[in-house]
Amino acid sequence: MNQLLVRAADGDEQAFAGVYDALADRVMGLVCRVVRDKAQAEEVTQDVMVEVWRTADRFHPARGAARNWVLTLAHRRAVDRVRSVSANRARELRAAVREQERSFDTVAEEVEVREEQRVVFRCLALLSRELRLPLVLAYYEGLTYAEVAEALSTPEGTIKSRMRQGLQRLHDCLEAGS
């Protein structure tokens, strides 16, 4: 795969076709898990593969595998799309809120949600790095057990155990906080 991407960087369309055939489905799967919308995932996947073609010369085999480089591009682009969509929704929500008078219940609910988020973040911060990081990658980044294990270069069984232990400690902390 590394050699195909290096050849694609030199303008070899057949090599890029090989990269595309090998990785497009994995890119789509990763992007779909992050953006959670098939139409947007298809757009992002197309953008990523075009970016791979255009920027293949930035890939350096000495720094890592081609597959990881492409999936990193895909993940970053997917997260950017989620942030963009979230920002648009937030802007629309702020505009809608400005147009109508806010009721007390809406304010109270927002305060409650922010307080819950603050408590969760506080409890996460109390976890050790080895328990916190797999939870953050899985729940905030949308990675599967296998992807978390790969990202952390740790056996999948160990990741599952750490996540169970981390979730239990998080649960205990949240129960103590309420």
- Domains, the chain, ordered by start: 1-111 (1.10.1740.10), 113-177 (1.10.10.10)
DSSP H or E stretch at residue 162: helix 156-177
Tell me the pLDDT tens digit for each residue of 1-11: 989 999 999 99
Higher per-residue pLDDT: 31 or 143? 31
Please check whether residue 156 is in contact with residue 149, taking contact to mean a CB–CB distance below 8 angstroms.
yes
pLDDT band at 155 (very low <50, low <70, confident <90, very high): very high
- The pLDDT assigned to 116 comes to 85
Predicted TM-score (pTM) of the model is 0.52
Please check whether residue 41 is in contact with residue 31, taking contact to mean a CB–CB distance below 8 angstroms.
yes
Angle between helices 145-152 and 129-139 (to 10 degrees): 130
Tell me the pLDDT tens digit for each residue of 30-84: 999 999 999 999 999 999 999 999 999 999 999 999 999 999 999 999 999 999 8
Query: Which amino acid type is present at position 29?
Result: G
Tell me the pLDDT tens digit for each residue of 87-133: 888 888 887 777 765 555 677 778 788 888 888 889 889 999 999 99
DSSP 8-state code for residue 29: H
